[in-house]
Amino acid sequence: MQHISSKEVVDVRYTLGSPESAAGMFNQLKATFPEGKEYRLFAEPIISGGKIMWMTEYEGSLLNISQLSDEQQSNVKNLLTEKIKKLIVAAKQYDETKLVEFLYKCIEIPSLKDIFVVRNNNIDQVVLIQWGFLSDVPGADKGILDKIINAKKVPMVFKVRYEDETIAKGVEVSFEFEGKKEIHRSNEEGVIMLEEVKIAGYVKAYELYQNQAINMQGYTCYEYGDYVITVMLRLDMLFRVKGSNDLPMPNEKFLLKYDESETELTTNESGEFMLPQVPSGKQVSAWQTEEGKIINSNNFIADKEKEFYLIVIEIPEEEVVAPPSPVVEEEKTHDMKFKVIDNKNNVIADAEVKVRYGTNTQTLFTDSEGYAVLKGVELGTKVEVVAYKKKKKK
């Protein structure tokens, strides 16, 4: 057994008879709920010399609820609510009204400071001292635990804003409260509403980034509270890929990386691709690979002022190839030129020249210089030639 605290019986009133009867009431609780040891919610009272020593079967470090943060206090209240409701449900199974009424008297305590936590290996157990007592001080609060377990619930409306205080639309925010986890997305006005949260309950809000909770923020629920959640500004980065010839480059694959996030994207018909939800200010690397080597590597900073991010791919200039020279076919024919002269080597103009080759026969006449031409004769053809001057054979 571990000693929690010793209290003098002053300024308090026992609701179940006299302080001396507290030990008997504890034994009744222990006998009623033996299996799950739910009775350990209540510290065991030991009366000695006008004082009550409060003991617990739990082992571990002791903390008073006043020593805890708002979040931890909220968690303890949720744990307390769970345990008390479990006891009441168990009591109702006996179909015994007096037993339920007895439990409600047991959960009276003079102050929130009568709630303790026993922590062992990061597991908390909640324990009540001075249970069944009321403060006799005029104006003291009554029904403290009843107010906790039956606390009024109200909606909590959160305004979701980026770090520059602009409205954050369509942003997912994770919430934890009353032992629950919920994810909500802000609407077009940048608002998220949690429908029912206990007044004085503690709510945690955060973003999930690469499966890690970031921008953790805490809130205590008030009936007319006003709450603002600040979230990370994220941008959809539009990339345009052009060649050095200023034409868009479709079907180009790129690897992109920021932090530990890496993805592959391919340009569309307009030479564009989109990298969504990049945190503002993050450096993004983009590159291609060719035969295992990195090419066209670029670095960019996500900036809400930029409309798009340009990547230029160098296009090699095309070599100008001279057209092939026309094939000159080897001549297969020849023009034969004949000169007609007399026996004194005088040129004879207008002489008649008869030629015969193969089956062809032609008559030619010499020009003023004594030349006659036979055109288109195949090479190697034997030609017979006879020239006449004024009907005389020469």
Least confident span in 27-36, 115-124, 275-284:
27-36
Q: Which residues pair with 357 in a beta bridge?
A: 360
- Architecture per CATH, 153-231: Sandwich (2.60)
Average pLDDT of span 301-313: 93
Which range scores top for mean pLDDT: 257-261, 266-270, 335-339, 376-380?
266-270
In the block, residue with structure tokens 């923020």: 217
Q: How far apart are CA 290 and CA 296, in angstroms?
A: 10
Average pLDDT of span 231-251: 92
Average pLDDT of span 180-206: 92
Fold of 234-313: Immunoglobulin-like (2.60.40)
Average pLDDT of span 371-385: 87
User: How high is the pLDDT of residue 261?
Assistant: 81
- DSSP secondary structure, 67-95, as one string: GS-HHHHHHHHHHHHHHHHHHHHHHHTTT
Task: Summarize pLDDT for 154-173 with one digit per residue, the tens.
Answer: 999 999 999 888 999 999 99
User: How high is the pLDDT of residue 229?
Assistant: 94
Average pLDDT of span 288-295: 90
Give me 197's structure tokens. Answer: 């949260």
Task: Summarize pLDDT for 6-19 with one digit per residue, the tens.
Answer: 988 888 888 888 88
Nearest alpha-carbon partner for 105 in 95, 113, 93, 97: 97
In the block, residue with structure tokens 């409306």: 157
Could you tell me the residue ranges of all domains in the chain? 2-149, 153-231, 234-313, 333-393
Average pLDDT taken over every residue of the chain: 88
Q: What pTM value is reported for the model?
A: 0.55
Neighbours of 126 (CB within 10 A): 22
Helix (H, G, I), strand (E, B) or coil at 101: helix
Check whether 321 has a pLDDT greater than 80: no
Check whether 392 has a pLDDT greater than 60: no
User: How high is the pLDDT of residue 66?
Assistant: 92
Q: Is 198 exposed, middle or buried (0-12, 13-18, 19+ CB in 10 A)?
A: buried
Check whether 374 has a pLDDT greater than 90: no
On the question of a common fold for 153-231 and 234-313, the answer reads: yes
